[in-house]
Amino acid sequence: MSLFLIVALPFFGALLPGLMYPAGRSACAGVTFTVTLAAFVGLLTNLPSILAGEVVAARVDWMPALGLNFTLMLDGLGFFFALLILGIGLLIIAYARNYLSRNDNMGEFFTYLLLFQGAMVGIVLSDNILLLLIFWELTSLSSFLLIGFWKHLPEGRQGARMALTVTGMGGLSMVAGMLILGQIVGSYDLSVILQNRDLIQADALYVPALLLILLGCFAKSAQFPFHFWLPHAMAAPTPVSAYLHSATMVKAGIFLMARMWPVLSGTPEWFVIVTTAGLITMVLGAVIALFKHDLKALLAFSTVSHLGLITMLLGTGTAFGAMAAVFHILNHATFKAALFMSAGIIDHAAHTRDIRRLGGLRKLMPVTFVIAVLAALSMAGIPLLNGFLSKEMMLEQSYATVLFGLPWLVPALATFGSIFSAAYCFRLIGHVFFGKVRDDYPATPHDPNPGLWLPPAILVVLVVVIGVAPFVIEPFVKLVTTSVLGNAATIPYAHIKIWHGLVPALYMSIIAVFGGLIMLAGFNSALRVWERTPRPEAKVIFDKIIGSTVKLVQAVILPLHNGSFSRYAAIGAVTIFVVGFYAWTTGTVGAPTRAMQAAGPVAIAGWLMLVAATIGMVLLHRNRLLSLILIGIVGLMVSIGFVFFSAPDLAMTQFTVEVVTIILMLLALNFLPKQTPIESTVLRRCRDSAIAIMGGLATFALAYYYLLRDAKDVPISEFHLANSYKGGGGTNVVNVILVDFRGFDTYGEIIVLGIAALLIYALTQTLLNGPVRARLLNREPDQPRSGDTHPMMMVVLTRVIMPVVLMVGFYIFLRGHNEPGGGFIAGLIVSIAVVMQYMASGFVWTSARLRYPYHGVIGAGVLIAGFTGMGSWFFGKPFLTSDFTYVRVPPFEKFELATAALFDLGVFLAVLGAVMLSLESFSRLARRAHMEDSEHPMDIDPSRDDTPDTAKEGV
């Protein structure tokens, strides 16, 4: 099966449990199981190639310019991890079906689980480190959802937050490290990076990259000092703990260390950091685990300890260490998942996980007893079980490892950790299963149905088989180890055997087992010592760090970001000014290259009007109607300026937009107060004036500077001028740019415009459905109404003028390609024509004659433009490639047909719909406000029989 399919299956499958939810719990679990099984089988179809030593690859270029490609690769290591993820996943799904209660939303649970599974498979199959990072973050997110699955539990929420914070921070540092690595090698493809060991290790940035990547790995795999999050994540449902926090996700960090082993390991930095962190984690985890009374907490710290063990083995940088690490990953996944599931069974049956309240379960739960004891003995390192084999290899490796120049340090600590490790395994067996049967369990323990005990039983069978006959698994372990080692080292000659002779590792093992038994015998006194020892509580420290970070951020942000828009605007203006000023003072200014053009009296007159209107607005802005008139003058002068400076298209657009904007403002002002009261202090007005003058001077200086200088390079518009007619078939270059050269931008812009109009519509709906509606209905107009709101003269005039305006719009639209005009302007002109009908004949009359809703017009416009663009796909051209031709239909003159005109039609419709929808929404508010509207176009109509109610309202 294609690698893409293996990765994609869980993601697409994640949709199914939610859909199957109404069909029942078994259906949810069933589809999840099927999806996982399909991916599992798909993975197995690749087994022959893996056994032949090949690397299966699949590749799609996604964003080649960024070096981000969707490349997947399956080698021994990836296969091994994918097998663990999907294989244990199958067992967990079966287990979770029986574990979750009726109150839990199983569809939600399995959706999260599949998302997690997909992300995890993605990590181990990625051949691109950027892609790997995306999957990496996805595992953090999906594990957050799974840990916090029981949303009603505060521990669950806190644990989920803590896990996300720690692994998320680690992920960020990992991003940085990977980017550095990619920069060093010049490629983000893992297969390329893995070939460049010498290049990477010789680079000056090797150490920073190493530190950052290790930080991410350690955070993910709960290595010291990030070990504290994993026990808190145990608030998750037990299937999650068994899956994520023992078998798979916490091994992602380990996986990455193994993946990067060929290029990053072997240096003193790697050796010291990784070995030390692993060693400390191993010992610390084992010691804490012994004194935990919660069964899951004990297992959580033992997981931390075992992850430390694997990390230490990878840290040694030897081929034998790598092989031991690979083997222990497998063994740990089998026995620890089985133990977690057993803990879940006990919790389920006895309603408690507190070891102090348990004991004597051997007789009550014989099946669980066998499963848990075998798994625990394997964890303790008892011969004939798989844990013994890899632990033996670990001890052998530690015997040969010299850290800080002290040959005894590593073996001593490893043995010390193993003593505690054996002790907590024995405690688990002894204090939970042996001892007297009690009569005060919260619930009577009993063996569960096979659905719960079969999955761990299958794992325990593996534990025993590997433990008894290690030669079965040896070729596979060596295969995986080969792909871990890459070119950096050769596979060790050593065999995995139960009996190695009287080697130091054996003595260390014996010390560990007997030491563990002695620890258990003296457990009560050891516990007393432990409880008296003061020790830092990780959660308290974590909460303190978070708390102080939040305080610091608040201290920095709140003064700037206090919710006051005026303050933001002022800070923004000043900041832009300061940055611009800095750029200005540090840059160089060339001499003017353009002569100043002489200004005629017309230009000066226009300028005077514009300046007078602007100053008038500032001084008289308290009178709102007056300032609206003044801004109209400003807009008019700007339009005239555009005409003057050879931009007829702009002038037409500005002019028509000006009309609709003023209408819009008037509609709004109808509701708003007509005066702005004097509120701000003189000081504040001085401050604002200072900011305003500063900003004005800055833009003046900038504009004046560049108006007198030519562009540094030849403007790209040369290209557009040269190709407008040849390539675009139009002589109006501005229009050709809009609908052809930069058609995609225009397409985006009409979509934005449409969204803005829909937003206005939605806001209006919300207002009209809310409490505002009553207020609007009861509102008394604050100004006298006109007695003749729809005068006959105006109605007649607008009716007569309507076809003329439509004709003009049509004409402007058609000639747009070659003369000033086009879809934008035509759309605005036609909307003005329609607005005139609303104004003259009234809302009801016009709406009743409206054939098409404006939403539909916007949609049609966007679709027409979009389909025009897609049309070019049928000719094998990129989106929005235009074409044109000239046709002659007698008796007409030769005329041009261009696909760009079709696109322009889309623009026209979108603009028309957007403008009309906005204005219509506003007037709907207004219509609610006063009396019901007349269905007649004219208040006084001689042709009508009814006598108008002249005393209705008004003056």
Partner 1 sequence: MELLVASAIGILTAGGLYLVLRLRTFPVILGVSLLTYAVNVFLFASGRLTVGAPPILQDGATTYADPIPQALVLTAIVISFGMTAVVVMISLGAFLGSDDDHVDDQPDATKGELS
- Interface of this chain with partner 1, residues 900 to 919, rule: CB under 8 A: 911, 914-915, 918
Taking CB under 8 A as the criterion, the residue among 241, 397, 746, 846 binding partner 1 is 746
The answer to whether residue 931 forms part of the interface with partner 1 (CB under 8 A) is no
Taking CB under 8 A as the criterion, the residue among 181, 300, 374, 631 binding partner 1 is 631
The answer to whether residue 634 forms part of the interface with partner 1 (CB under 8 A) is yes
Q: Is 475 exposed, middle or buried (0-12, 13-18, 19+ CB in 10 A)?
A: exposed
Q: How far is the CB of 210 from partner 1 (least distance, A)?
A: 47
Structure tokens at 166: 């720690």
Q: Which is nearer to partner 1, 45 or 564 (CB)?
A: 564
Distance CA 816, CA 826 (A): 9
The answer to whether residue 633 forms part of the interface with partner 1 (CB under 8 A) is no
Strands 68-74 and 56-63: antiparallel
Q: How far is the CB of 883 from partner 1 (least distance, A)?
A: 19
- Nearest Cα neighbor of 304 from 381, 371, 226, 236 is 226
- Nearest Cα neighbor of 260 from 321, 327, 197, 207 is 197
Q: Which residues fall within 8 angstroms of residue 142, CB to CB, at 6 or more apart? A: 112, 115, 116, 119
Taking CB under 8 A as the criterion, the residue among 22, 563, 587, 876 binding partner 1 is 563
CB atoms within 10 A of CB 515: 18
The answer to whether residue 716 forms part of the interface with partner 1 (CB under 8 A) is yes
Distance CA 930, CA 782 (A): 11
Rounded to the nearest 5 degrees, what angle is found at the Cα of 856, between the Cα atoms of 850 and 861?
115
For partner 1, the binding residues in 246-275 under the rule CB under 8 A are: none
Q: How far is the CB of 842 from partner 1 (least distance, A)?
A: 21
CB atoms within 10 A of CB 52: 7
Taking CB under 8 A as the criterion, the residue among 569, 578, 777, 804 binding partner 1 is 569
Binding characters for partner 1, 660-699, by CB under 8 A (x = yes)? xx--xx--xx-xxx--xx-xx-------xx-xxx-xxxxx
The answer to whether residue 628 forms part of the interface with partner 1 (CB under 8 A) is yes
Taking CB under 8 A as the criterion, the residue among 134, 491, 647, 802 binding partner 1 is 647
Q: Which is nearer to partner 1, 711 or 863 (CB)?
A: 711
Q: How far is the CB of 273 from partner 1 (least distance, A)?
A: 52
Q: How far is the CB of 554 from partner 1 (least distance, A)?
A: 18
Structure tokens at 215: 């930080």
Q: How far is the CB of 780 from partner 1 (least distance, A)?
A: 14
Q: How far is the CB of 754 from partner 1 (least distance, A)?
A: 9
Query: Binding residues for partner 1, how many (CB under 8 A)?
Result: 119
Q: Sign of the C-alpha dihedral, residues 892, 894, 895, 898?
A: positive
Question: What type of residue is 527?
Answer: L
Q: Which is nearer to partner 1, 240 or 665 (CB)?
A: 665
Q: How far is the CB of 164 from partner 1 (least distance, A)?
A: 32
Taking CB under 8 A as the criterion, the residue among 645, 744, 867, 895 binding partner 1 is 645
How far does Cα 702 stand from its chain's mean position?
A: 39
Q: Is 574 helix (H, G, I), strand (E, B) or coil?
A: helix
Taking CB under 8 A as the criterion, the residue among 29, 382, 737, 835 binding partner 1 is 737
For partner 1, the binding residues in 805-844 under the rule CB under 8 A are: 818-820, 824, 828
For partner 1, the binding residues in 754-773 under the rule CB under 8 A are: 756-757, 759-760, 763-764, 766-767, 770-772
State the virtual CA torsion across 625, 628, 633, 634 in degrees, nearest 10: 150
Residues facing residue 58 across a β-bridge: 72
Stretch in the footprint of partner 1 (CB under 8 A) among 64-72, 396-404, 464-472, 750-758 = 750-758
Q: How far is the CB of 859 from partner 1 (least distance, A)?
A: 16
Q: Which residues fall within 8 angstroms of residue 745, CB to CB, at 6 or more apart? A: none
The answer to whether residue 602 forms part of the interface with partner 1 (CB under 8 A) is no
The answer to whether residue 598 forms part of the interface with partner 1 (CB under 8 A) is yes
Structure tokens at 33: 């199981």
Q: How far is CA 889 from CA 815, 831, 893, 896, in A?
A: 18, 32, 7, 11
Rounded to the nearest 5 degrees, what angle is found at the Cα of 676, between the Cα atoms of 671 and 679?
135
Q: What is the chain's alpha carbon radius of gyration, rounded to the nearest angstrom?
A: 38
DSSP state of 245: I
Taking CB under 8 A as the criterion, the residue among 446, 551, 775, 849 binding partner 1 is 775
The answer to whether residue 723 forms part of the interface with partner 1 (CB under 8 A) is no
Distance CA 163, CA 229 (A): 6
Q: How far is the CB of 368 from partner 1 (least distance, A)?
A: 58
Residues facing residue 897 across a β-bridge: 885
Taking CB under 8 A as the criterion, the residue among 518, 557, 707, 793 binding partner 1 is 707
The answer to whether residue 485 forms part of the interface with partner 1 (CB under 8 A) is no
Element (H or E) spanning 637, and its range?
Answer: helix 624-644
Stretch in the footprint of partner 1 (CB under 8 A) among 44-52, 189-197, 407-415, 567-575 = 567-575
CB atoms within 10 A of CB 665: 18
H-type helices in 770-821, by residue range?
772-777, 792-815
CB 797 within 8 A of CB 805: no
The answer to whether residue 113 forms part of the interface with partner 1 (CB under 8 A) is no
Q: How far is the CB of 266 from partner 1 (least distance, A)?
A: 56
Q: Which is nearer to partner 1, 56 or 660 (CB)?
A: 660
CB 71 within 8 A of CB 128: yes
The answer to whether residue 605 forms part of the interface with partner 1 (CB under 8 A) is no
DSSP string, 439-477: S--SS------HHHHHHHHHHHHHHHHHHH-GGGTHHHH
Q: Which residues fall within 8 angstroms of residue 188, CB to CB, at 6 or more apart? A: 67, 68, 69, 128, 129, 130, 178, 182
Stretch in the footprint of partner 1 (CB under 8 A) among 191-199, 238-246, 402-410, 730-738 = 730-738
The answer to whether residue 561 forms part of the interface with partner 1 (CB under 8 A) is no
Taking CB under 8 A as the criterion, the residue among 646, 769, 783, 947 binding partner 1 is 646
Phi and psi torsions of 231, nearest 5°? -60, -35
The answer to whether residue 558 forms part of the interface with partner 1 (CB under 8 A) is no
Distance CA 93, CA 9 (A): 16
The answer to whether residue 732 forms part of the interface with partner 1 (CB under 8 A) is yes
The answer to whether residue 706 forms part of the interface with partner 1 (CB under 8 A) is yes
How many CA atoms lie within 13 Å of 418's alpha carbon, on the beta-carbon side? 30
Stretch in the footprint of partner 1 (CB under 8 A) among 298-306, 389-397, 708-716, 898-906 = 708-716
Taking CB under 8 A as the criterion, the residue among 753, 833, 836, 865 binding partner 1 is 753
Q: How far is the CB of 886 from partner 1 (least distance, A)?
A: 16
The answer to whether residue 653 forms part of the interface with partner 1 (CB under 8 A) is yes
